[in-house]
Structure 1
Amino acid sequence: MMKIAIIDKDQLINRGLRIILDENDDFEILEIEPNSNTIHNKVDEFIPDIMLIHVNDYTNNFAEIINDLRKIYASIKIILMFPNGYRNAGSFDIYEGVNGFLLNNISAEGFVYSIRNVYDNQFVLSKEIAEKMISKAQYGSTDEKEKMKQKLRLKGISISSRDSDVLYLIYSNYKNKEIAGELQLPEKTVRDYVSRVYKKININNRKQVIGFIRQIMEE
C-alpha cells in the first residue's frame, strides 16, 4: 500500500486530487492542513511514503515547511504541485530535496503515473517547468546572482542557494518585508537568514553589505 499525504489549505483542490487518487486501490490518502504542528503530528501518525504539497501565492511558508520536513523525514518523498503559470515555479534552487515538480493542469493519468515514478525513486517534472529550468540554465553564466556567488567564492566565502537569494535581494535594496514577499517566507525567517548572511561575510551593517557586494561585483 502506497501512503500519500496531501498538504494544502484549498479543500476544493484536495477533493479533486483525492478523487483521482482514490481510484487506485493501492493508494491510502490523508489530507493535512499546512500548519507546522498539524503536519508533524499527522505525519508521525500516518508515516506517508509521499507528501504532495500544493504551492500557491497564499502558501507563504511553503519553503520553510519543505526544509523542515526534509530534515526530519528524510525518507519521505516530496512532490510539489503549482498552479499553471505560477510565477516562482522555475526557482528550483530553493526547493532542495524535492522529488517532483508538477503543474495543476497535468492529466489524471499523468498525475498518477508521476506519483508511481516518484515512489520508484524517479524524479518527475512537468514539461512547462522543464522548459523554465532549461531557459534558466541557458542564461546561468550571465545571471547576476550566480556571478555574486562566484565572486564570493573567490574570496573564500561559501553561501547556500537560499543565502544567495537573500543576499542578492539585500544588494538590490530590498527591505526584509519585501524579501519575505519575494521568497514566500515569513519575515522572521528572513531576519534569521539576513543575520546568518551578515555573519558569513563578517559585516553587520546593511549599507556596508551593499557596498561590499557592489565592490566585488565590479572587480
Structure 2
Amino acid sequence: MNHTSADPIRVLIVDDHAVVRRGIRTYLELLGGIEVLAEASDGQDALDTLKAMAAHRELPDVVLLDLVMPRMDGVLVTSRITSQYPDVRVVILTSFGELERIQGALANGASGYLLKSAGPDEVVAAIQAAARDEMFLDPAVARRLTRQMVSPPTGVGALTERERDVLILIANGYSNKEIADELVISERTVRTHVSSILRKLRLSSRTQAALVAVREGLVPPQT
C-alpha cells in the first residue's frame, strides 16, 4: 500500500443512508490521522467515485462500505474494488449479520467486518488495521465464524435465509414460477435454490423437502 504512518489514512464512506454517512464522517473528522476524501450513496456510485479518484491519482487507503445497498450489493462491490484497486482496502460496516454474506465479503477480499452496533473506537481500529494491511473482525462476527468452523450447521440450519424462504414456499405447494413471482426472482434462480436445498438436506424430491419443512416447524402441518 502507499500509506505510511506519517500520512493521514484516506477514507471513502459508502452507505445508502445519508444520515449514517454524515454521522461517520463527523466522527472521523474529529480524529487526528484520518481524512475523509468523499462519500458515495451506493455500490455503483462507489465504483464511479473510485474511477474518478484513480484518474487524479487520489485513491483512498480504505473504503468503509455498507453491505446491503441498492443497485449493487457490498459483496460484489468488494470484489470489484479489490480486483480493480489492489492497494485499496475494504472494511464492511453493516447492520446485516448473515453468515453467508460475511463469508462472501471476506472471500472477496474485505480486510474487516463490523456491525453497526460497534462502537466508534472499533470503527477507527478497523480502519487503522486495514491501512496496516491487517484484518479486523467484529468480536460477534468472529465468534460466529469460529462456531461455523468448529461445528458446521447441518440440516435446515445450513440453509441461507433465501433458501429457507424457498423451502417454506415449496412446503406450501408453490411451483417454481409461483416462487419466482412471490420472491421477485427468476425461475432459473429458483431452480438453483431448490437444487441447493435438496443437496444440503440430502433429499431427492420437493415432497421430501416439504416434509422436512413441516417437521422443523417452518410451516404448520396440512390439515
Instruction: State the TM-score, normalized to the length of structure 2.
Output: 0.62
Alpha-carbon distance, 1:122 to partner: 0.9
**1:34 alignment partner AA:** D
For these two proteins, the number of residue pairs brought into alignment is 179
Residues in 2 aligned to 1:176 and 1:135: alpha-carbon distance in whole angstroms: 33
**Which amino acid in 2 is paired with 1:94?**
G
Judged with a 3 Å threshold, the aligned counterparts in structure 2 of structure 1 residues 35 and 101 are, in CA distance, closer, same or farther, namely closer
1:142-194: CA deviations, max 9, x gaps? 46798xxxxxxxxxxxxxxxxx97xx78x9567557788xxxxxx58x96xx5
Rounded Cα–Cα distance in structure 1 between residues aligned with 2:85 and 2:155: 33
Q: Distance in 1 between matches of 2:40 and 2:134?
A: 24
RMSD of aligned residue pairs (Cα, Å) = 4.0
**Residue 25 of structure 2 aligns with which residue?**
18
User: Are 1:119 and 2:139 matched, yes or no?
Assistant: no
Aligned to 2:86: 74
For 1:17, give the aligned amino acid.
Answer: I
Task: Please tell me whether the aligned partners of residues 103 and 126 of structure 1 are also in contact (alpha carbons under 8 angstroms).
Answer: yes
Structure 1 runs (4+) deviating above 6 angstroms are 57-60, 143-146, 177-180
Contact 1:63–1:94 (Cα < 8 Å) also in 2? yes
Identical amino acids, percent of aligned pairs: 15
Distance 1:60 1:47, change over 3 A: closer
Residue 89 of structure 1, CA deviation: 5.1
Query: Taking CA–CA contacts closer than 8 Å with sequence separation of 6 or more, which of the two structures ends up with the larger relative contact order?
Result: 1
Please give the alpha-carbon distance, in whole angstroms, between the structure 2 residues aligned to 1:143 and 1:78: 33
In structure 2, the partner of 1:88 is: 98
Q: Does 1:40 align with 2:47?
A: yes
Where in structure 2 are there 5+ consecutive unaligned residues?
A: 1-6, 171-175, 205-223
